[in-house]
Amino acid sequence: MTALLAGLILLVGAAPVQAQNDTTLGADLDAILADPGLAGADVGLVVTTLDGEVVYQRASERRQQPASNAKLATSAAALEILGPDHTFTTTVATPARRTGPVLHGDLYLRGTGDPTMLAGDYDALAERVADSGVRLVTGRLAADDTWFDDVRLGVSWAWDDEPYYYNAQVSALTASPDTDYDAGSIIVRVAPGAAGGPAVVTTEPPTDYVRIVNEATTGAAGSDDTVSVDREHGGNTFTITGSIPADGSATTEWMAVWEPTDYAASLFRAALERHGVRVLGRTVRAATPADARVLASRESMPLRELQVPFLKLSNNLHAEILVKAIGRKVAGEGSWDAGRPAVADALAGLGVTGKLSLVDGSGLSRMDQISPDQLAQLLAGAVDRPWFADWYEALPIAGESERMVGGTLRSRMDGTAADGAVHAKTGSLTGVSGLSGYVDTAAGDRWIFSMVTNNTIGVNTKAIEDKVAIRLAEEGGETSRPGPKVSSHEVTVECSWEKAC
């Protein structure tokens, strides 16, 4: 109950004016939402002009679980509070006295939440330490993750999602396996060996921080791929089971590690060794002393650029890192409890009114509650902000096949009136779907729309969302009726959950 109250936001103001849905557009949208698959579901849809005039409204005042549509709030608040030029800095520092190549004391690796740190970046830091002439550290390697608190997982996140990259632990000191920047994760790759023998398992990056238990076998050519990768709770033992066909392609799984702080420190320690720097002491966690001098540092890309992988690929960890970074800047505490009120204030400043609850930044929590009307208010309030152009382009774009352009909409609505005309944030949880953003109509208008659906069972809600967006894009054109084509690739879950986009 305490966590729920902590996440509750009260904003007072006027709701959008109700519209009469008695136009041809209204009738068409009513028909789309009358899909039998939505029977018993909670469906909200609002369409407005950029200045907030309501074009269409259907139960849009009702608060719902937004899934990843919550990232609209987090990303906009981050741009407002941290600023588009905000960067994350990772440093190597020491207060120790040095005699020639010997450092008489501890070496500190300090993070501020950078989700873009790769194994190669830790290697580059180690190389700079070596280039400074240090060859021996008599003390310990201290991992400093104190920029954030030590609460690793969000409120009401699903326990059975815990081993997977989209539900990874949040830390101020972390590492990603590739340039999708899934912080706190590794890639486990399972390839076929000789038929009848074990499968071949590797990780990216290569690391001895995790333990691999390989029980997977190589099946006959043409056999089924039944490979499964799991991680034990509370540790870093990954067990691989099942079978992969001898003529099959490698199976790849993105998996969360347990304790990303220790993972990052392990990568850095191994890099130091490769560059000829020996640390005699063990790896510990400790805050960097105020008098420590910096030996090496790395600064991330600015937030305006990070918005692209964040929003295009719906990166959950980016959202949570940003909430904690906001808390650190505003209240001096890198926590969800400190970040949430600041996000609320930013939303109010963008014109969002009424009660809502956002207990995390990504929308993973089942305790998040926001209405389509409020999402539309946010989208309208963002239009006049100086960061809007970058934010608008960072949203997924319908039908654009380039991964870092189309994002989670790259295989949706292609070849329709919505192709290239819809910039919107997607969202999915079991029984939950959302699509909120901007649509350019055939008449030359830019509208805002937000559709959020809860409590669905056995229906392709994404296809229905596509029909809505296509119909809006067609408005004012020669054909302003729903066409037969919805999407070349209808989906029922977010492609980012399956690394399919």
Q: Give mean pLDDT, residues 364-372.
A: 97
Amino acid at 144: D
Quote the tokens at residue 99: 């005699």
- The model's confidence at residue 485, banded by pLDDT at 50, 70 and 90, is very low
What's the per-residue H, E or C state across 174-203?
A: CCECCCCCCCCEEEEEEECCCCCCECEEEE
Whether the per-residue pLDDT at 14 is higher than 70: the answer is no
Q: What DSSP assignment string belongs to 135-163?
A: -EE-S-EEEE-TTS-S--S-TT--GGGTT
Whether the per-residue pLDDT at 4 is higher than 90: the answer is no
Tens digit of each residue's pLDDT (9 = 90 or more) over 268-297: 999 999 999 999 999 999 999 999 999 999
Quote the tokens at residue 64: 């719902």
**Cα distance between residue 447 and residue 53, in whole Å:** 10
pLDDT of residue 29: 97
Whether the per-residue pLDDT at 162 is higher than 50: the answer is yes
**Residue whose pair of structure tokens reads 């490979």 in the numeric block:** 227
**Cα distance between residue 432 and residue 49, in whole Å:** 26
Quote the tokens at residue 297: 């540092």
Q: Tell me: domain 89-151+260-297, CATH 3.20.20.210, correct?
A: no
Tens digit of each residue's pLDDT (9 = 90 or more) over 420-479: 999 999 999 999 999 999 999 999 999 999 999 999 999 999 999 999 999 999 999 875
Task: Sheet with 107-110: list strands edge to edge.
Answer: 283-285, 141-144, 107-110, 89-94, 293-299
**Residue whose pair of structure tokens reads 């407002």 in the numeric block:** 80
Mapping DSSP to helix (H, G, I), strand (E, B) and coil, where does residue 46 land? strand
Buried b (16+ CB within 10 A) or exposed e, 414-430: bebbbbbbbbbbbbbbe
Tens digit of each residue's pLDDT (9 = 90 or more) over 239-255: 999 999 999 999 999 99
ω into 205 cis (within 30 of 0): yes
**Cα distance between residue 356 and residue 64, in whole Å:** 9
Of 134-138, 373-377, 481-485, which range is least confident? 481-485
Tens digit of each residue's pLDDT (9 = 90 or more) over 202-220: 999 999 999 999 999 999 9
At the topology level, CATH places domain 2-12+24-85+304-498 in Beta-lactamase (3.40.710)
Measured at the CA of 383, the angle between CA 406 and CA 377, to 5 degrees, comes to: 95
Tens digit of each residue's pLDDT (9 = 90 or more) over 124-152: 999 999 999 999 999 999 999 999 999 99
**Cα distance between residue 469 and residue 461, in whole Å:** 12
Read off φ and ψ for residue 81, nearest 5 degrees: -90, -50
Task: Name the H helices within 227-275.
Answer: 260-274
- The model's confidence at residue 492, banded by pLDDT at 50, 70 and 90, is low
pLDDT of residue 479: 57
Tens digit of each residue's pLDDT (9 = 90 or more) over 300-345: 999 999 999 999 999 999 999 999 999 999 999 999 999 999 999 9
pLDDT of residue 480: 46
* In contact, 438 and 448? CB cutoff 8 Å: yes
pLDDT of residue 497: 74
**Residue closest to 48 by CA, chosen among 449, 423, 473:** 449
**Cα distance between residue 407 and residue 82, in whole Å:** 24
pLDDT of residue 3: 40
Task: Name the H helices within 82-118.
Answer: none
Strand-strand pairing, 293-299 and 89-94: antiparallel
**What percentage of the chain reaches a pLDDT higher than 70?**
93
**Which residues form the catalytic set?**
68, 71, 314
Task: Sheet with 136-137: list strands edge to edge.
Answer: 97-99, 102-104, 136-137, 278-279
Max CA pair span of the chain = 82
Domain boundaries, the chain: 2-12+24-85+304-498, 89-151+260-297, 185-256
**Cα distance between residue 70 and residue 76, in whole Å:** 10
pLDDT of residue 9: 46
Whether the per-residue pLDDT at 15 is higher than 90: the answer is no
